[in-house]
């Protein structure tokens, strides 16, 4: 199975767009942190990687990128966008519920990904796996 994989340059570009949209300054602390997050996501380099199917890999990607803190601003939003782009590029999407306060369970999951100890990588991967839908 051929899998579309995101590059560090694409992740940096996503963060630039996130910051521009939010009116914030884009500042990359260390591209090595992005590269390390992607290496951890796509290890050992052949599908299905160490994490399993596409949705679980996307969940791991969001966890690793959110925790890398490679950017001054927009780490969680960039992690979320990257994981959704990865899923879409590989024929999947996420369908997740809205909370009564207008937030989504996905935004809560990404926030928890960036707060060490709030949710484990495995719990985030399970969330993605439970809410995946193959695109028609």
Which domains are delineated in the chain? 8-134 (1.20.120.1870)
- Ramachandran sector of residue 30 (left: φ over 0; alpha: ψ -120 to 50; beta: rest): beta
- Rounded CA gap, 54 and 3, in Å? 9
Helix (H, G, I), strand (E, B) or coil at 3: coil
User: CA nearest 33: which of 18, 15, 21?
Assistant: 15
Handedness of CA 14, 121, 48, 129 (dihedral sign): negative
pLDDT tens, position by position, 72-122:
999 999 999 999 999 999 999 999 877 778 777 888 888 877 776 688 899
pLDDT digits (tens, 9 = 90+) for 43-60: 987 777 888 899 999 999
Tokens for 5, please give them.
């994989």
């Amino acid at each position: 199975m051929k899998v579309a994989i995101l590059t560090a340059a694409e992740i940096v570009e996503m963060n630039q767009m996130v910051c521009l949209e939010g009116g914030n300054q884009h500042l990359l602390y260390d591209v090595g942190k992005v590269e390390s997050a992607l290496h951890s996501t796509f290890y050992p380099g052949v599908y299905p990687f160490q994490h399993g199917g596409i949705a679980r890999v996307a969940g791991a990607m969001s966890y690793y990128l959110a925790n890398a803190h490679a950017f001054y601003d927009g780490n969680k939003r960039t992690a979320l966008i990257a994981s959704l782009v990865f899923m879409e590029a590989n024929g999947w999407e996420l369908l997740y519920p809205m909370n009564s306060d207008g937030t989504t369970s996905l935004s809560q999951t990404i926030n928890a990904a960036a707060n060490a100890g709030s949710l484990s990588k495995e719990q985030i991967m399970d969330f993605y796996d439970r809410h995946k839908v193959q695109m028609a």
